[in-house]
Amino acid sequence: MKARIPKHREFVISMEEDYEKAEECWARLQQIVKDYEKEGKNIFTKTFIEDNEDKVKALQEVYEFTYTIEEK
């Protein structure tokens, strides 16, 4: 059986393992995804990065993490 999985881009978030606000940060990042899904979209929507990068950057100013955008 063959399956064709569409290529997509995704955020790759990195933060220190001992970062004290890691759980809070992950919860806020997950909320971005949940809010996006409430709009009837998902992470495989072609404009996911463009639609959410400003929100991720805003969180980056509050929390200590870096991110890259990778094509899978």
Beta-carbon contacts of 45 under 8 Å, excluding residues fewer than 6 positions away, are: 36, 51
Strand partners, 70: 10
**What band does 55 get if pLDDT is binned at 50, 70 and 90?**
very high
Task: Record the pTM.
Answer: 0.86
Give CB contacts under 8 A, 24+ apart, made by 47-55. Answer: 48/8, 48/9, 48/10, 49/9, 49/10, 49/11, 52/11
Q: What is the mean pLDDT of residues 39-60?
A: 95
- Does residue 6 register a pLDDT over 80? no
- pLDDT tens for 9-24 read 899 999 999 999 999 9
